[in-house]
Copies of this chain bind each other. A is one copy, B any other.
Amino acid sequence: MAKVIRARDYRWDSVDLKQYKTEGTGFRDITRQTLLGEGSDESRLNFITRYFEVQPGGYSSLEHHEHPHAVVVIRGRGEVILQDRVEPIELHDCVYISSHTVHQFHPLGDEPLGFLCIVDRERDRPQIPDDESVARLRENDAVGRRLKI
């Protein structure tokens, strides 16, 4: 059944606000809402549209996985680690995260960083980079300064 899911102030009707969690990895002050694709009505969608919000000072897990991410920023600004570089991101910027690119999102400024992140319904679990990979990432000064574990 077709439907409208109404938004107000980055919350959506009938959508649960969840604490973000990737087992065994560091993350801070981040929430997840699954906007489209999780309800039984929406099982025909082969992809899931989620909204993540990271508060100032917070960050997402440093992780990688086989499935790619399609990201669209809809609140605030920040930086994203993409393997061996750090890129600034602002309102409406898109990020394509290819397979096994290690990534982590960081807000900048006083506003939370909020972004849509669309993924395949069927997908592999995120993996945490091992110590050797993290050591290699840290060799890049910009990445080393920014990454949190």
Q: Using a CB–CB distance below 8 Å, which chain A residues touch chain B?
A: 1-7, 10, 12, 35-37, 39, 41-42, 44-47, 49, 68, 70, 72-74, 80, 82-83, 87-99, 101, 103, 116, 118, 120
Contact = CB atoms under 8 A, between A and B. Distances in A.
A39 B68 CA distance: 14
Q: Is the interface of A mostly helix, strand, loop or mixed?
A: strand
Copies of this chain, tallied across the complex? 2
A10 B92 contact: yes
A35 to B, nearest CB: 5
Nearest to A73: B7
Contact of A47 (B3, B98, B118): B118
Given A3-B95, A36-B94, A74-B92, 20 more contacts: A2-B83, A2-B95, A3-B96, A4-B87, A4-B94, A5-B93, A7-B91, A7-B94, A12-B92, A12-B94, A35-B72, A36-B96, A41-B96, A41-B98, A47-B118, A49-B72, A49-B94, A72-B74, A72-B116, A74-B74
